[in-house]
């Protein structure tokens, strides 16, 4: 089309629009003009209003001016701008449609971890974080280094405490007539004495003075078990993680904090050889056997990794983090943002509640609106008693807890996933000659083999579910070792499907 023809067409269209607008204005103001601008008997002539004056002013400019002429470059730019605006408008419409659809679907899966203290709940939680949000999990690796160092130092100080009792002749748990310490052990005890101060320093950094459950744990050592740090939920440990993220990511930690951390690492590096020698000592191993103490089976055991963990450049591995132990007092809420996958629920909220007898009364408040309960039963604890009540067998306590959960009417619509956990420790105990029937009399004369024991316990938990559930409920059973990431990832993949189906069903999508 010739340029003058295109300009004429554009001008005609502009005039047509202006004429239409003018007609509309006149129609709207015609009645008012008819009566306001003519003389009526007994009525004064009304002045023009401001709106009328503006309309009159616009009517005086006629015909409207031509739009500025366009050259070819400007015309193409205008077309491109119109096309871009159209694409942007379409994208906004599509995003609004997606958001409307997402609002109709569940956005958050809720999981509740239950079980007695030291059942492995924290390890399962860390496995969920590692599986669904590996980048976020690895980003917090530095925050776990002081905890792992503290776990190691507490184990060493526990042994030193036993040696001190033996040296003073006041060891109630040792055999009568225990020999005095050898010169080697005396030297190791002296060279490792600075670790007492390291423990106090690490405990204060991690928990803070207001967060330690029992400050006496720093100074007194349980004759049967290495002590552990206790942190109140939402105070010490959470604040510590925030501190560590700040110190790693943006350098906000103070010079004194960095200096203290480096001093701790230098002491551990200098003591690594003596720590390894202490653990390798046959005198120490014999003393632990005489007291029926197995540090290898306790949470937070790192004495077999001394040289690696005490290096100046040490960074915790995922397996180290899974094995690390810090006791949290009170319930904790953990939000996991899924970094992969196609399910609509991109956020999982996991509640880790305290398992000691004094904290179980708080469980009920988490029963509402939860999709799945993961119950952990440490089946290796068949020959152990509760820390807070030495007359109660831990396995019997787990069975009682399971019966209470199964019979709760508030949970009738909740999916149950049962972890028969710590199968690795159970296997070692049975293979070492410990007889299961001596602690669980109903096992009777069945073969004392791990496979038979696991089957017996699995059937026992299944029977309780069938007997005490208010209505028939499918139970998902898994025999697990929570610190085995490869095996646990397979189990977690199954759990992912269970949780997704249950959450969708709860919103009537299925």
Is residue 408 part of an annotated ligand binding site? Answer: no
Q: Are 310 and 107 in contact (CB under 8 A)?
A: no
State the Cα–Cα distance between residues 237 and 205, nearest whole angstrom: 10
Count H helices and E strands in the chain, helices first: 17, 10
Query: In 261-367, at which residue ranges do the beta strands (DSSP E only) sit?
Result: 327-329, 332-337, 347-352
Is residue 43 part of an annotated ligand binding site? Answer: no
Q: Which of 290, 41, 296, 301 is nearest to 150 (CA)?
A: 301
Which fold does the domain 108-133+338-510 belong to in CATH?
Answer: Rossmann fold (3.40.50)
Is residue 323 part of an annotated ligand binding site? Answer: yes
Higher per-residue pLDDT: 308 or 258 = 308
How many beta carbons lie within 10 A of that of residue 494, not counting itself?
A: 12
Is residue 130 part of an annotated ligand binding site? Answer: no
State the Cα–Cα distance between residues 483 and 470, nearest whole angstrom: 34
Task: Please write the tens of the pLDDT for every residue from 12-45.
Answer: 555 445 454 444 444 444 444 444 444 444 444 4
Query: In 118-275, at which residue ranges do the beta strands (DSSP E only) sit?
Result: 230-232
3-17, 131-145, 330-344: which range is least confident on average? 3-17
* 136 phi/psi in degrees, rounded to 5: -65, -35
State the Cα–Cα distance between residues 458 and 454, nearest whole angstrom: 6
Task: Please write the tens of the pLDDT for every residue from 237-254.
Answer: 455 554 444 444 444 456
Is residue 44 part of an annotated ligand binding site? Answer: no
Is residue 166 part of an annotated ligand binding site? Answer: no
Write down the pLDDT at residue 453.
Answer: 96
Give the list of residues 6+ apart from residue 155 with CB closer than 8 angstroms, or none.
226, 295, 300, 301, 302, 303
Query: What mean pLDDT, rounded, does the chain reach?
Result: 77
Write down the pLDDT at residue 502.
Answer: 65
Is residue 328 part of an annotated ligand binding site? Answer: yes
Q: Are 226 and 154 in contact (CB under 8 A)?
A: yes
Measuring CA to CA, how many Å separate 204 from each of 12, 212, 218, 423?
83, 8, 10, 34
- The mean per-residue pLDDT over the stretch 318-328 comes to 87
Per the DSSP assignment, residues forming a β-bridge with 416 are 373, 475
Residue 306 in this model has a pLDDT that exceeds 80: yes
State the Cα–Cα distance between residues 510 and 269, nearest whole angstrom: 57
Give the list of residues 6+ apart from residue 224 with CB closer than 8 angstroms, or none.
173, 291, 292, 293
Give the list of residues 6+ apart from residue 66 with CB closer than 8 angstroms, or none.
7, 10, 11, 14
How many Å from the N-terminal Cα to the C-terminal Cα in the chain? 60
40-54, 201-215, 277-291, 373-387: which range is least confident on average? 40-54
Is residue 423 part of an annotated ligand binding site? Answer: yes
Report the SS3 class of residue 105: coil
Is residue 322 part of an annotated ligand binding site? Answer: yes
How many beta carbons lie within 10 A of that of residue 351, not counting itself?
A: 20
Give the list of residues 6+ apart from residue 114 with CB closer than 8 angstroms, or none.
121, 353, 355, 363, 373, 374, 375, 376, 401, 405
Write down the pLDDT at residue 42.
Answer: 43
Burial class (CB in 10 A: 0-12, 13-18, 19+), 444: exposed
Q: Are 206 and 240 in contact (CB under 8 A)?
A: yes
CATH of 137-330, one of 3.30.420.10, 2.40.37.10, 1.10.400.10, 3.40.50.10260: 1.10.400.10
Burial class (CB in 10 A: 0-12, 13-18, 19+), 406: buried
Write down the pLDDT at residue 188.
Answer: 93
Q: Which of 329, 324, 323, 328 is nearest to 150 (CA)?
A: 324
Domain ranges of the chain: 1-67, 108-133+338-510, 137-330
Give the list of residues 6+ apart from residue 225 with CB closer than 8 angstroms, or none.
158, 293, 298
Is residue 327 part of an annotated ligand binding site? Answer: yes
10-14, 283-287, 442-446: which range is least confident on average? 10-14
Higher per-residue pLDDT: 375 or 109 = 375
Write down the pLDDT at residue 221.
Answer: 39
Write down the pLDDT at residue 291.
Answer: 87
């Amino acid at each position: 089309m010739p340029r003058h023809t295109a300009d004429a067409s554009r001008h005609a269209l502009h005039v047509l629009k202006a004429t239409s607008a003018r007609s509309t204005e006149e129609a709207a103001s015609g009645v008012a003009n008819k009566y306001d601008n003519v003389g009526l008997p007994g009525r004064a002539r009304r002045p023009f209003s401001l709106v009328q004056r503006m309309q009159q002013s616009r009517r005086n400019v006629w015909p409207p001016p031509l739009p500025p002429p366009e050259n070819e470059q400007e015309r193409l730019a205008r077309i491109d701008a119109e096309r871009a605006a159209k694409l942007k408008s379409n994208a906004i419409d599509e995003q609004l449609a997606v958001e409307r659809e997402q609002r109709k679907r569940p956005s958050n899966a809720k999981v509740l971890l239950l079980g007695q203290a030291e059942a492995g709940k924290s390890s399962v939680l860390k496995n969920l974080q590692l599986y669904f949000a590996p980048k976020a999990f690895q980003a917090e690796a530095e925050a776990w280094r002081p905890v792992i160092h503290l776990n190691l130092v507490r184990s060493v100080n526990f042994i030193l405490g036993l040696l001190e009792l033996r040296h003073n002749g006041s060891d109630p748990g040792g055999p009568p007539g225990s020999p005095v310490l050898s010169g080697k052990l005396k030297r190791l005890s002296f060279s490792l004495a600075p670790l007492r101060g390291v423990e106090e320093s690490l405990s204060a950094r991690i928990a803070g003075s207001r967060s330690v459950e029992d400050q006496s744990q720093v100074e007194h050592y349980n004759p049967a078990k290495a002590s552990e740090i206790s942190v109140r939920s939402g105070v010490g440990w959470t604040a510590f993680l925030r501190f560590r993220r700040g110190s790693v990511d943006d350098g906000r930690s103070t010079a004194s904090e960095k200096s203290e951390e480096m001093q701790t690492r230098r002491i551990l590096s200098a003591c690594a050889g003596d720590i390894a020698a202490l653990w390798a000592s046959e005198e120490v191993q014999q003393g632990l056997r005489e007291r029926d103490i197995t540090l290898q089976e306790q949470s937070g055991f790192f004495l077999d990794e001394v040289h690696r963990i005490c290096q100046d450049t040490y960074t915790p591995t995922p397996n180290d983090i899974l094995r690390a132990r810090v006791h949290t007092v009170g319930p904790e809420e953990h939000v996991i943002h899924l970094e992969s996958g196609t399910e609509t629920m991109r956020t999982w909220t996991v509640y880790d509640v305290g398992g000691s007898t004094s904290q179980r009364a708080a469980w009920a408040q988490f029963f509402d609106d939860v999709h799945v309960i993961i119950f952990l039963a440490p089946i290796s604890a068949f020959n152990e008693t509760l820390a807070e009540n030495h007359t109660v067998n831990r396995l019997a306590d787990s069975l009682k807890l399971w019966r209470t959960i199964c019979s709760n009417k508030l949970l009738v619509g909740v999916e149950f996933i049962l972890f028969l956990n710590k199968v690795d420790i159970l296997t070692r105990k049975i293979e070492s000659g410990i007889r299961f029937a001596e602690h669980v009399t109903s096992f009777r004369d069945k073969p004392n083999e791990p496979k038979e024991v696991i089957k017996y316990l699995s059937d026992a938990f299944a029977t309780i579910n069938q007997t005490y559930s208010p209505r028939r409920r499918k139970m998902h059973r898994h025999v697990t070792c929570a610190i085995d990431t490869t095996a646990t990832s397979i189990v977690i993949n199954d759990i992912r499907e269970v949780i997704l189906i249950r959450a969708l069903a709860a919103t009537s999508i299925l």
